Amino acid sequence: MIKKLFLSLLILPCIAQAQEKMSAKFLSALKASPAAVILQDGSKANVKEVVVTRHWNKELCDMSVQNISGQPLKIREVVVFDWQHHLPGSTPIYGEGFQMLSQTGGTLASPKDLGGYTDRGHYKIPEPEGLRTVYGMLMLQLSAHDRVLLATTSCNKFISRFSFNAQRMRISMDCENLTLKPGQKWNLEEFMAIAGPDREKLYDRLTAAIAKNYPRTHKITEPMGWSSWATFGPNVTAKDVAENADWIAKNMPQLKYIQIDDGYQPWMGDWLDKGKSFGGDLSQVLRQIKSKGLQPAIWVAPFIASPQSRLFKEHPDWMVKDKDGQPLRSDKVGFGGWRLGPWYVLDGTNPAVQNYLTQLFRTMRKKWGCTYFKLDALYWGAIQDGVHYDTNATSIEAYRKGMEAIRKGAGDAFLLGCNHPIWPSLGLIDGSRSSNDVDYSWQSFKTVGRESLLRGWQNGRFWWNDPDCILLNSPRKGDKPTENEYLFHATVIYATGGMLLSGDDLTRLPADKVAILKKLIPPTGMAARFENENFEIGITPTSKGNVYSIFNWGDIPAERIIKLPPGKYKLTNKWTGKNLGVFSSRYVIQSLQPHSAMLIEAEKVE
């Protein structure tokens, strides 16, 4: 026994040193790797024509590209780092998607799509050299206690792409074949490369660096409210909205934002016109919400227009163009839209479009009293392969200029981004949908729950995360989630720490489900911190101790062990109110049932 202990004391430091060397070697190889400029025809530019500069300041790298030739050059991309990474193919990864519905997990050799609507598949965004690609950031877990986080801390003009396979890592800036004039220099996005043992602390360092570039200027507490979409979808009526607003005003006024989520407009793009099925004048419905002491919130997809819309028919010149100078049909280059399509796209670089967007949101904010906008289909504002009014602008700049025009009109209103490009939205929105739409099923609770928890580190730093609605009472007959599965879903909502929106028809919500909803009010404002991406036990600190979010994602019972801080703690099941007793050191859940979760409050005993 003593011999084993002695050997372990010798071996552990060696393992730690090896792990440290692995991340150090990886970062050293990154910094030593060559840069290259790829021209429109796919050829590599000569170093006598164009030069890439990289300047490191500790963990941050400022980069630029300059045309030193006498001829204009069309630049496809700048490859800022490209090297053989020498990591095992089994190295776990996590990377962001270009747009909200795409996330990547798995390993370097076998990456796994975590969402069903991928960038490369559903949205047809090409990947450099056929390498699997993520956008904005990439986390690598070299060992249990050694991680590397690569990211750009800005996204003003170019989207950063992290492309890889089992042998190679390639980091590039997409320049979209724009012209770099003789003598002209582009500043590329700021880059960050860090290593450490703790995933949460690495994310802390990244978010702090990004906050320096995009400080949060709108100090709005995490919103609470109700959304019409999950229960009523595009068929919502003025009557549905009024009945739920009445219920909220009488029973739960903390849910103050009443979100009319699609269905009120006749076509995509005609946001000030009344749809036939809604059955009421929208501006009047919004005023009625306000008269109940609540806040009117509305869904708008600001960049898109249906072919039948008045907006498209009257202003085809406002749209992003194809290479023939005609309005670009989005289904020709990407996803054409989920309803009333194929969609055309407003060009955010056009001054007339900017003025239109400002006036549209000024009308809804000032005349209609909307203090919250759910901005959907935002990806289309940054659609690839289009020709813009400003031919020197990237799609990222087009999106950001359009969003800035929206903010100018919306003023101090809360802006929630949905189906948005994640990294290009930095500094532009107050809330960010962190998952696909949730539905009344275990598979949905499980899938969107993991999507949201993977983005928990963004909550309260970039914006408030929106994990989509809390659902507690299925309107469907037949298959429904079990009570354990509903509590699993509610625990995910708690652990995200962000926005809280009810998606049920509250006029039909049973009393026991009302009690669960009340226990989620108010949100904590901070995401639970997890040791790894298994998301089995999350910790949310409180003034009296901690709250533990404990999950069983599997199909068989599982043991979970809560490691308590020093001292004695009174443990309470937050959902049932049951006193579990006083414990020190740890608390063991011997058999957590499948598809279930617990929320345990630990209060320190003096």
Q: What is the pLDDT averaged over residues 486-498?
A: 98
Q: What is the pLDDT averaged over residues 381-391?
A: 98
Residues whose CB is less than 8 angstroms from the CB of residue 411 and which lie 6 or more positions away in sequence, other chains included: 362, 365
Q: Which of 392, 463, 455 is nearest to 425 (CA)?
A: 463
Contact indicator for 479, 443 with CB cutoff of 8 Å:
no
pLDDT at 262: 86
Angular region, 110: left φ>0, alpha ψ -120 to 50, beta rest: beta
Contact indicator for 207, 221 with CB cutoff of 8 Å:
no
Angular region, 489: left φ>0, alpha ψ -120 to 50, beta rest: alpha
User: What's the residue count for the chain?
Assistant: 606
Cβ neighbours, 10 Å, residue 24 = 13
pLDDT at 1: 47
Residues 204, 205, 207, 211, CA torsion sign: positive
Question: So what's the architecture of 224-519 in CATH?
Answer: Alpha-Beta Barrel (3.20)
| CA 592 distance to own-chain centroid | 30
Beta-sheet pairing, 73-84 with 168-180: antiparallel
pLDDT at 5 over 90: no
Which of 213-227, 395-409, 453-467 has the least mean pLDDT? 213-227
pLDDT at 9 over 50: no
Confidence of residue 254 (pLDDT cuts 50, 70, 90): very high
Residues whose CB is less than 8 angstroms from the CB of residue 96 and which lie 6 or more positions away in sequence, other chains included: 103, 134, 135, 136, 137, 422, 423
Give the separation between CA 87 and CA 372, rounded to whole angstroms: 46
Residues whose CB is less than 8 angstroms from the CB of residue 251 and which lie 6 or more positions away in sequence, other chains included: 506, 514
pLDDT at 99 over 80: yes
As a whole number of Å, the CA-based R_g of the chain is 25
Confidence of residue 283 (pLDDT cuts 50, 70, 90): confident
Which of 201-210, 213-222, 396-405 has the least mean pLDDT? 213-222
Q: What is the pLDDT averaged over residues 445-454?
A: 98
Residues whose CB is less than 8 angstroms from the CB of residue 253 and which lie 6 or more positions away in sequence, other chains included: 293, 294
Contact indicator for 507, 247 with CB cutoff of 8 Å:
yes
Question: Which fold is adopted by the domain 529-605?
Answer: Immunoglobulin-like (2.60.40)
| Residues 270-279: tens digit of each pLDDT | 999 887 768 7
- Domain locations along the chain: 2-92+140-207, 224-519, 529-605
User: What is the token pair recorded at 590?
Assistant: 């011997």
Give the separation between CA 504 and CA 493, rounded to whole angstroms: 15
Q: Which residue has the higher pLDDT, 218 or 547?
A: 547
Which of 178-192, 264-278, 386-400 has the least mean pLDDT? 264-278
| Residues 107-141: tens digit of each pLDDT | 999 999 998 899 999 999 999 999 999 999 999 99
Give the separation between CA 42 and CA 52, rounded to whole angstroms: 17
Confidence of residue 216 (pLDDT cuts 50, 70, 90): confident
Backbone angles phi, psi at 363, to 5 degrees: -65, -50
Q: What is the pLDDT averaged over residues 85-105?
A: 98
Q: What is the mean pLDDT of the chain?
A: 95
Confidence of residue 13 (pLDDT cuts 50, 70, 90): low
Which of 138-142, 234-238, 477-481 is most confident?
A: 138-142
| Residues 153-171: tens digit of each pLDDT | 999 999 999 999 999 999 9
pLDDT at 340: 86
pLDDT at 278: 80
Tokens 């009945």 label which residue? 243
pLDDT at 556 over 70: yes
Contact indicator for 373, 412 with CB cutoff of 8 Å:
no
The reply to whether domains 2-92+140-207 and 529-605 share a CATH topology is yes
pLDDT at 479: 76
% of the chain residues with pLDDT over 90: 90
Tokens 């559903």 label which residue? 122
Question: Which fold is adopted by the domain 2-92+140-207?
Answer: Immunoglobulin-like (2.60.40)
3-class SS of residue 400: helix
| Residues 262-272: tens digit of each pLDDT | 888 999 999 99
Give the separation between CA 108 and CA 90, rounded to whole angstroms: 6
Contact indicator for 342, 306 with CB cutoff of 8 Å:
no
Residues whose CB is less than 8 angstroms from the CB of residue 284 and which lie 6 or more positions away in sequence, other chains included: none
pLDDT at 56: 98
Give the separation between CA 559 and CA 541, rounded to whole angstroms: 23
pLDDT at 497: 97
Q: What is the pLDDT averaged over residues 218-228?
A: 91
pLDDT at 540 over 70: yes
pLDDT at 73 over 90: yes
